[in-house]
Amino acid sequence: MTDSNQTQPAPQSLPPRLAMTVPRFVRAKQRGEKLAVLTGYDHLWASILDDAGLDAILVGDSLGMVVQGKASTLPVTLDEIIYHAEMVCRAVKHALVIVDLPFMTFHVSPEDAIRNAGRIMKETGAAAVKLEGGVNQAETIRRLTAAGIPVMAHAGMQPQSMNKYGGMHRIQRDREQLLNDAKAVTEAGAFGIVLELIPREIAKVITETISIPTIGIGAGPDCDGQVLVTPDMLGLTAGFNPKYLKRFANLRSQAQQAVQEYVRDVRAGTFPDAEHSH
């Protein structure tokens, strides 16, 4: 715990805002309001993200890589995503919390998808789930939506299909397929769609064609909103530098400097000093 005399001044507070809901999220597109989304994986960071004014927090299966240190998102389990989503939901007061359906939790059958997504909704308090897929998942999206589970789709590069692509960061350029995916998930009842790693011109056409918000990551500026992986955009992760990624801070080196200073002070016997002793 930090003493109150050591805390940094809070960033300028935001005007009061309404809690985000799925209908408000969809209306933002109709109003021409851009949507800001980031990933969140635990209570501490979710409270920071929510207080900073995000529209939605995605409990992404990217946690397999950035939190668990695994080589891909494939090993993430339903129990693990529920564990993280529950922590996030407990912190969030305003943002819409959307939770990824991990690999193989929605592919076997729509019934299996409903059972697994239902567990996420019941055990975490999240408002929606996300699944990777387009035309191939339209029936599952229809069934989930009919069961009262709002679904965000995810087209373009789909990390759970990395073995099919032969790698993770492959730009997807099949315009017809991408448009068909976007139209199919819209018709099936999805309330939004992530477009990952696709040319900006295709993202623009999709955004102008469908009625639900497009949330881009590596899909250019014309999407209705943007999402990034939080540890990447805060500069906490190292060695991942795709063209689309803007690092808005360099927290890894700031944290390392602080820890190095602490190590120096402890070894030199200058911490704790009189000011920090009872």
Q: 26-45 mask for ligand KIV (x: CB under 6 A)? A: -------------x------
> Binding ligand KIV by CB under 6 A: which of 227, 233, 234, 236?
227
Nearer to ligand KIV, 60 or 213 (CB): 60
> Binding ligand KIV by CB under 6 A: which of 229, 233, 234, 236?
229
Nearer to ligand KIV, 14 or 71 (CB): 71
Query: Is 196 assigned a catalytic role?
Result: yes
Task: Give the orientation angle of helix 110-124 with respect to helix 78-91, to 10 degrees.
Answer: 40
Q: Does 57 bind ligand KIV (CB under 6 A)?
A: no
At 66, list the tokens.
């950035």
Q: Give the CA angle between residues 40, 117, 17 to the nearest 5°.
A: 45
Q: Which of residues 202-221 bind ligand KIV (CB under 6 A)?
A: 217
| Total number of residues that touch ligand KIV (CB under 6 A) | 10
CB 46 within 8 A of CB 35: no
> Binding ligand KIV by CB under 6 A: which of 56, 62, 134, 156?
62
Distance CA 97, CA 39 (A): 10
Distance CA 139, CA 220 (A): 29
CB 95 within 8 A of CB 54: yes
**Strand (E) or helix (H) holding 130:** strand 128-132
Kindly list the residues in this chain that would bind ligand KIV in the complex (CB under 6 A). 39, 58, 60-62, 100, 194, 217, 227, 229
